[in-house]
Amino acid sequence: KTVTKEVNATIVINGTKVNKTINKTEIITVPKTITKVYNDSIDLGIRVYNAPTTNIRKGLDLQGGTRVLLEPEEKISVEDMDLVLSNIKQRLNVYGLSDIVVRTTADLSGNQYILIEVAGANEEEVRELVAKQGKFEAKIGKEVVFKGGNDITYICRSADCSGIDPNSYGQSNGQWSCRFRFSISLSPEAAQKQAELTKNLDIVTEGNQDYLNETLDLYLDNQHVDSLNIGSELKGRAITDIQISGPGLGTTEQEASFNALKNMKNLQTILITGSLPVKLDVVKTDAISPALGEKFVKNAFFIGFLAVLGVSLIVFLRYKRIEVSLPMIINLIGEVIIILGVAALIGWNIDIAAIAGIIIVVGTGVDQLIVVSDELLRKEQQLFFNWKQRIKNAFFIIMAAYFTTFVAMLPLMRAGAGLLKGFAITTIIGISVGVFITRPAFAAVVEILLKDKL
């Protein structure tokens, strides 16, 4: 880049120093940014989200992500279920996913399920990763040479010994292909078995290269993944360091590379974590957009504001006394704040079901506050009951409603494979906070405000 600028210079004219402004041209080097836009958009798997500003954790319905419901093919023990949960968590962590919820659940019939929620991941990659049993086998002919798990002691994931083979790119019938490769280390037992299975094989020549007459066939969940030629130098030798490879296909060179790296990452993850003790069937998958969740939160706040406004108006018209109406509204708002605080304290996610539970709590809370207010304002019983007796009468009704609702929520914690658990937990927390904290506080405040006026 050429830049012309003015500089002050001192020159000598006939022995006299004179200051003069002159133009000076310089060539300077500046960084150049080149932006290349591909017509075919490729999902790189990178997600950006705002840092949390509160301890309240939003559920998958509100922040977006993927939910997968899995069912074991056969009934398994508690120990095996714990092993499955641990393996799935490890798979997702090794794969690089964060903000993961993996838990066991059941329905009212006693069927076992595994519920997985992953924020910021697409449905296909989560389903592909967790639904596989992960049974990896390498065979020569029909004999198993080594398996994923204990037979593999090390799996390379760094760039120096894993990645795309630059010489493997090719195009056929408009389809691009390439191959990934990464190194693994076998246990001494697996290496010895490989030596025994290869010592009697014949050597053949293909394209000036000497290979054994059998290939190393790779299987994942009994499905053939790839076949690798075995170099003649490996015949009868217990080699622990070998290389695994596999294909990647796509309509463009970039897409083929992306798919190859994705396949490599999946295979590495399964080899690291090992196989599951049971096959899992996908019952249901849900992909939820973050934009939809954000819109729902805004609508929920707006509807909540309208609800509080409507309740406030009706309560004021009902009693026409600010000393009853105002504490009632403050009580309801405080109850919602306490519920959210308890949820943040115990790490419970606030999802759509939980918000429905909060709405139920507010609705039943208004009913109970009206019962307390009516009992305290009944002038005809003023001569026969003191304040304590009036409050006792009101709380007898409230406690009966509390235990009824509490018992009704217990079956919902297991119904729908646990998907209604958020609704049940939030409702139980809400009615418990109301009965043991906010209702007594409201009764005490109203008693103080009304005692001298009745």
Q: Which helix (H) or strand (E) holds 7?
A: strand 2-13
What is the C-alpha separation between 389 and 378, in angstroms, rounded?
12
Nearest one of 439, 419, 406 to 338, comparing CA atoms: 439
| pTM confidence score | 0.55
**Which DSSP category does 150 fall into?**
T
DSSP string over 161-176:
SEEE-TT--EEETTEE
Q: Which helix (H) or strand (E) holds 206?
A: strand 203-206
Mean pLDDT, contiguous 10-residue spans, the chain (454 residues):
59 64 59 51 52 69 78 84 80 66 78 80 69 77 83 84 86 87 88 89 80 85 79 85 85 89 81 74 78 76 79 82 84 88 81 81 83 72 57 78 86 68 84 88 82 63
DSSP string over 240-279:
-EEEEEEEEEESSHHHHHHHHHHHHHHHHHHHHH---SS-
Determine the pLDDT at residue 51. 61
Determine the pLDDT at residue 380. 44
Where on the phi/psi map is residue 195: left (φ > 0), alpha (ψ -120 to 50), or beta? Answer: alpha
**290-450 placed in CATH 3.90.1170.10:** no
Determine the pLDDT at residue 39. 47
Domain-by-domain residue ranges, the chain?
Answer: 58-287, 290-450
Angle formed at CA 18 by CA 14 and CA 23, multiple of 5 degrees: 120
What are the residues whose beta carbons fall under 8 Å from the beta carbon of 239, sequence distance 6 or more? 186, 191, 194, 195
Residue 175, strand partner residues: 172
What is the C-alpha separation between 179 and 260, in angstroms, rounded?
6
DSSP string over 351-378:
-HHHHHHHHHHHHHHHHHHHHHHHHHT-
| 237 CB burial (10 A radius; 0-12, 13-18, 19+) | exposed
Determine the pLDDT at residue 95. 60
What is the three-state SS of 311-352? HHHHHHHHHCCHHHHHHHHHHHHHHHHHHHHHHHHHCCEECH
Half-sphere exposure of 410 (CA within 13 A, CB side): 5
**Helix 290-319 / helix 352-376 crossing angle, nearest 10 deg:** 10
What are the residues whose beta carbons fall under 8 Å from the beta carbon of 70, sequence distance 6 or more? 113, 114, 115, 116, 130, 131, 280, 281, 282, 283
Chain centroid to CA 224: how far?
31
Determine the pLDDT at residue 397. 80
Nearest one of 446, 316, 273, 436 to 365, comparing CA atoms: 436
